[in-house]
Chains A and B, each alone.
Chain A
Amino acid sequence: EAGVAQSPRYKIIEKRQSVAFWCNPISGHATLYWYQQILGQGPKLLIQFQNNGVVDDSQLPKDRFSAERLKGVDSTLKIQPAKLEDSAVYLCASSSAQGAGELFFGEGSRLTVL
């Protein structure tokens, strides 16, 4: 069974530039999550989708971050404009149920903002 796919694995940009991350969840998983993990910390939920609807985006900095999940499958997370403090690993995860059962994570996209 294919796991959660993310790209790119690494991205280096300068502050005020924009960046986009892509995630393809496990086939059939209705729930998709984007987490931000700053070095040395635990993952922090940015946004949770159930199919193509948003369940929780209360911790998403909406002035610069946006995410979409068209057709309830793939998802894209965008940051525009990036700040130095956005340097982190962006983890995508999926699960088969909305309730917090087991999450399956991708390898993450590491962003460095200079």
Chain B
Amino acid sequence: SQQGEEDPQALSIQEGENATMNCSYKTSINNLQWYRQNSGRGLVHLILIRSNEREKHSGRLRVTLDTSKKSSSLLITASRAADTASYFCATDGTSGSRLTFGEGTQLTVNP
């Protein structure tokens, strides 16, 4: 089964609003990554947060990691229509190097 599970499955917001997506996982991890996928395209890496980090920023993106709750969140501030995409979390378990993806959150930003 997939290691990461995103919540919500779908999110629709207005341009300018913030979007928050959550990811929960089951086993201990080395790091957690977030990827973005536009419709019909490949995945693009957004940010990586290591298990000993609690928060990381990149432009309008803010990622938090709570290893005690085995969860992470991705916040996109001041969203734009161009942010419309599917967002996936991926975890690298401590037992091996396989990167396992969740089912994704479909974000729609309405202009």
Contacts and interface: CB of A to CB of B under 8 A. Distances in A.
A45 interface: yes
Interface stretch (A61-69, A75-83, A93-101): A93-101
A21 interface: no
Nearest to A101: B48
A100 B30 contact: yes
Contacts of B31: 100
Nearest to A105: B42
A25 interface: no
Interface stretch (B14-22, B53-61, B66-74, B96-104): B96-104
B102 A45 contact: no
Given A42-B88, A42-B102, A98 B97 contact: yes
Given A100-B30, A100-B31, A100-B92, A45 B99 contact: yes
Contacts, number: 61
A16 interface: no
A48 interface: yes
Given A45-B98, A55-B97, A99 B30 contact: yes
B23 to A, nearest CB: 11
Nearest to B106: A40
A105 B90 CA distance: 14
A56 B90 CA distance: 17
Contacts of A106: 42
B97 A91 contact: no
A100 B98 contact: yes
Interface of A: 4, 33, 35, 40-45, 48, 55-56, 91, 93, 98-108
Interface of B: 2, 4, 30-31, 33, 35, 41-45, 48, 88, 90, 92, 96-104
Closest 5 pairs between A and B when the two form their complex, measured CB to CB: A100-B92, A105-B42, A42-B101, A100-B99, A105-B43
